[in-house]
Amino acid sequence: MEKDNFVIRAMHKSEVDIAINWAAQEGWNPGDCDALSYYCADPHGFLIGLLNNQPIAVISAIKYDTAFGFIGFYIVKPEFRGQGYGYQIWQAAMAYLSGCNVGLDGVVTQQDNYRKSGFELAYRNIRYEGVLETAHFKNQSQPDGATICEVDEDLIEGYETQFFPAQRARFNLQWRAQSNACALNLKKSGKICGYGVIRACQTGYKIGPLYADCAQNAKALALALISEVEKNVAGPVTVFIDTPEQNSAAVAVAESLGMSIAFETARMYTGKFPDLPIGQTFGVASFEIG
């Protein structure tokens, strides 16, 4: 796509870091090693807009399958905003996802603009932030009838499938294999009943996803993940969790850890809201990829 020396094309693998770095500059606090995981989700889904061969706009349009996609990393360099370049790359992304039910986590104030493209609000996601030391929660860190252990790779794919509208096994595998990440699951009677990943970000550490069958187990799993970080970090750990607001138990867990609201997003879809176990979703993997 080309107009007035503005070209939109798919990013090369090495260019995904441009979107990551711009997201960091916007204060979105991406993970240090997120780029490869995002690329694994859809190698064709990152678009870049070049003006006179210089990058000025990015967006991700991850097509998980022919039925579901997710928009993220919608950023135009500040000096080029309001000139139509963002709208052009937005249109290119939506064209790539044509025929899909498309989801996004957008800035709440932009909901009206997203509605013009057919998106409707499903619920809010809230980012909680806290500076934590697990020693303060010793009496609250025991799971209810479950065991916290390393991820069971034979069972985890089947467990994760229920939490997302499309199959994304390749992304999930790379997500927990990041060099700066730790993944744990909860098992009860030989079955997985909880799963979480913590990874280093530009600032602090982010837990996501965080799934569990109950609030007590979600909290125990979160504290176990933070404890793994504490083995290599001196002092308290700055932690973020992105929680679906409509899961009141998840909100209660974050608040019981002394975390406070950092900001929020609007989870929106162009089609029917996916039937997902929100009551067991205590933290989403990423605002940028769903």
DSSP the chain: -EETTEEEEEPPGGGHHHHHHHHHHTT---BTTHHHHHHHH-TT-EEEEEETTEEEEEEEEEE-SSSEEEEEEEEE-GGGTTSSHHHHHHHHHHHHTTTSEEEEEEEGGGHHHHHTTT-EEEEEEEEEEEEE-GGGGGGG---SS-EEEE--HHHHHHHHHTTSSS--HHHHHHHHT-TTEEEEEEEETTEEEEEEEEEEBSSSEEEEEEEESSHHHHHHHHHHHHHHHHTTS-S-EEEEEEEETT-HHHHHHHHHTT-EEEEEEEEEESSSPP---GGGEEE-S-TTT-
Per-residue model confidence as pLDDT tens digits over 76-96 = 999 999 999 999 999 999 999
Whether the Cβ atoms of residue 82 and residue 74 lie closer than 8 Å to each other: no
Average the pLDDT over 215-242 and give the result: 95
Positive or negative torsion for Cα 283, 287, 289, 290: positive
- Residue 289 falls inside a structural domain: no
Share of the chain above pLDDT 90, in %: 86
Residues 10 and 106 in one domain: yes
Residues 278 and 141 in one domain: yes
- Residue 249 falls inside a structural domain: yes
Indicate the pairing of strand 2-3 with strand 191-200. Answer: unpaired
pLDDT at residue 100 is higher than 80: yes
Whether the Cβ atoms of residue 5 and residue 52 lie closer than 8 Å to each other: yes
pLDDT at residue 154 is higher than 70: yes
pLDDT at residue 180 is higher than 50: yes
Residues 89 and 134 in one domain: no
Confidence of residue 3 (pLDDT cuts 50, 70, 90): low
- List the domain range (segments joined by +) for residue 52: 2-122
Residue-averaged pLDDT of the chain: 94
Residues 130 and 115 in one domain: no
Q: Choose one of 78, 100, 122: the last residue of a domain.
A: 122
- Residue 62 falls inside a structural domain: yes
Average the pLDDT over 171-192 and give the result: 95
Residues 14 and 110 in one domain: yes
pLDDT for the residue 110? 87
The gap between the terminal CA atoms of the chain, to the nearest Å, is: 27
Per-residue model confidence as pLDDT tens digits over 105-131 = 998 888 899 999 999 999 999 999 999
pLDDT at residue 71 is higher than 90: yes
Per-residue model confidence as pLDDT tens digits over 245-266 = 999 999 999 999 999 999 999 9
Residues 117 and 234 in one domain: no
Residues 44 and 75 in one domain: yes
Q: What is the CATH number of the domain that holds 179?
A: 3.40.630.90
Task: Quote the CA–CA distance of 253 and 206 in Å, as a whole number.
Answer: 15
Residues 231 and 258 in one domain: yes
pLDDT for the residue 2? 47
pLDDT at residue 1 is higher than 70: no
Confidence of residue 66 (pLDDT cuts 50, 70, 90): very high
pLDDT at residue 242 is higher than 50: yes
What is the pTM for the complete model shown? Answer: 0.94
Residues 152 and 276 in one domain: yes
Q: What is the CATH number of the domain that holds 26?
A: 3.40.630.30
Q: Choose one of 73, 107, 122: the last residue of a domain.
A: 122
Per-residue model confidence as pLDDT tens digits over 4-46 = 799 999 999 999 999 999 999 998 999 999 888 989 999 999 9
- Residue 165 falls inside a structural domain: yes
Domain count, the chain: 2
Among 109-123, 137-151, 224-238, name the one with the lowest average pLDDT.
Answer: 137-151
